[in-house]
Amino acid sequence: MSNIIAIVGRPNVGKSTLFNRLTESRKAIVDESAGVTRDRQYGKGVWNGIDFSVIDTGGYAVNSEDIFEGEIRKQVMLAIEETDVIVFVVDVENGITDMDEEVAAVLRRSSKKVFVAVNKVDNNMRIIDSHEFYSLGLGELFCISSMTGSGTGELLDAIVKEFPEDAPVEVEENIPHFAIIGRPNVGKSSFINALTGEDRNIVTDIAGTTRDSIHTRYNKFGHDFYLVDTAGLRKRTKVKEDVEFYSTMRSIRAIEDSDVCILILDATRGMESQDVSIFNLMVRNKKGIVILVNKWDLIEKNNSSTIEYTKQIKERIAPFVDVPILFISALTKQRILKALETAVEVYENRSKKVKTSELNEVMLKAIEAYAPPSIKGKYVKIKYVTQLPSQTPSFAFFANLPQYIKEPYRRYLENKVRENFNFAGVPIQIYIRKK
């Protein structure tokens, strides 16, 4: 089960800065102008060994009270429905506003745990000023400064306590889950319908037709797994804002709860920045990945079309390029069974275990052929390697001076593991430990 935090609040209270702080990134644009965040931002964070996802619900339109009344309510209600924990960000400089009270009224009626983060508290006088937010009736306050990070540790300590320790498991827990991910109208539902031979999922040209995650049991040709059709992930859309938010939440949860993610691209549009963002989220979640280029029947092709298209995709997803890329057509059913077989192979790669003797025989030769570069006259020696007993492929290399092994050499080691053992479509973790 995934742990999801939604950050809500009116514009310009510091939601994006807090998002960047919690995810240890600079993904969200931060500016003093209201309404800078329009696209949904989502990322991964970890605190006290507990992983979670963070959704920045973005800036709300403030030009019209009518827009506020409609859109704020939709966004907050969806956050309540889809997330485990809600962080309500308010601004100590401006005090309580009408917008704050509107959001608080909705949150008070929810059953979800709400944390009030009073932002921009960077001195003792502002701590005193923050006490007025108790009148919102949402319980304890957390005085933070998302800019400096002050108080965010205490906030996260309280948040992670709310996550369930033992996630509920499904009855058929050993059955793999393959999530079908992609932008609207790339053919996700058509792909599942072609596989199952049933028009189970509604297919139209209208973006946002699929709004929920639909589970389809596939039990044919010796395979048994769930296909999860998700709502389309979009960057900017003509569809209403709440549909975009809804699709993002559902898709992230589907990614986190899946074993293999099948990323479907539209051959007529190529791999766009939103696809790259979703791909990186899959990698950070350590999921198996297969990329399918759909609508290949609509492309004018020559002898090198697939080679050129594959090269373009790999340039966008580097450095992790050991990902199967297939060219399909859900409409004509071209290569759809091959796509399925590839997803099953990636699932098996994800749980593959390599014998320690085999691993050492291959990797120690590779290390001998290209030893780690010496630093400050000191020579790094790697004597032993083993695969760790983790859910996803992780390898520990034992060295005399692990602190001197830099990222380029880690990539060399990873590439050698991939060359000799098939881990296609699966992110690999490389750890250097003291001998």
Three-state DSSP at 192 gives: helix
Query: For residue 100, what is the enclosing H or E element?
Result: helix 98-108
CA-atom Rg of the chain in angstroms: 24
H or E stretch at 223:
strand 223-229
pLDDT value of position 228: 77
Contact 87, 154 (CB under 8 A): no
Bridge-based pairing state of the strands 50-56 and 41-47: antiparallel
d(CA 229, CA 4): 20
Q: What is the distance between the alpha carbons of residues 274 and 27, in angstroms, rounded to a whole number?
A: 12
CB 271, CB 182: distance < 8 Å:
no
List the end-to-end C-alpha distance of the chain, in Å, as a whole number. Answer: 36
Apex CA 76: angle with CA 74 and CA 77, to 5°? 65
394-399/382-387 β-pairing: antiparallel
Cα–Cα dist 289/347, whole Å: 9
Sheet holding 177-181, edge to edge: 214-220, 223-229, 177-181, 260-266, 288-294, 325-327
Look-up: residue for tokens 């594959």?
310
How many C-beta atoms surround the C-beta of residue 392 within 10 A?
18
Assigned token pair, 50: 């507990």
Looking at residue 248, its pLDDT comes to 64
- Please state, in angstroms and rounded to a whole number, the distance separating the CA atoms of residues 190 and 185: 9
Give me the half-sphere count of Cα atoms (radius 13 Å) on the Cβ side of residue 221.
Answer: 8
Q: Are 183 and 198 in contact (CB under 8 A)?
A: no
Centroid of chain to Cα 245:
15
Helix (H) or strand (E) holding 122: none
* Contact between residue 48 and residue 157 where contact means Cβ atoms under 8 Å apart: yes
Cα–chain center distance at 230? 14
Contact 150, 144 (CB under 8 A): yes
Element (H, E) at 222: none
Q: Is 155 in a helix, a strand, or coil?
A: helix
Q: Are the beta carbons of 290 and 326 closer than 8 angstroms? A: yes
Residue 123 three-state SS: coil
* 209: its two tokens: 């037709």
Q: What is the C-alpha to C-alpha distance for residues 389 and 208, in angstroms, rounded to an integer?
A: 41
DSSP string, 310-356: HHHHHHHHTT-----EEE-BTTTTBTHHHHHHHHHHHHHHHT----H
Read off the tokens for 163: 């996550």
Separation CA 53–CA 46 (nearest Å): 9
Q: What is the pLDDT along the chain (435 residues), one digit of tens a residue?
A: 468 888 888 877 888 888 888 887 654 434 443 343 334 466 778 888 888 888 777 544 444 454 545 555 666 666 677 787 899 999 998 899 888 888 888 888 888 889 999 999 988 888 888 999 999 988 889 999 988 889 999 999 999 988 876 544 333 457 888 988 888 788 887 888 888 776 543 344 444 433 344 567 777 767 777 787 776 665 544 444 455 555 566 677 778 888 999 999 999 998 988 888 889 889 988 999 999 999 999 988 888 899 999 999 999 999 899 999 999 998 898 998 899 899 999 999 999 999 999 999 999 999 999 999 888 888 899 999 999 999 899 999 999 999 999 999 999 999 999 999 999 999 999 999 997
The closest alpha carbon to 178, from 141, 249, 229, 103, belongs to 229
Region of 179 (left: φ > 0; alpha: ψ -120 to 50; beta: rest) is beta
Residues 6+ apart with CB under 8 A from 365: none
Question: 31: part of which helix (H) or strand (E)?
Answer: none
Tokens of 405: 């092994």
Least Cα distance to 180 among 122, 113, 247 occurs for 247
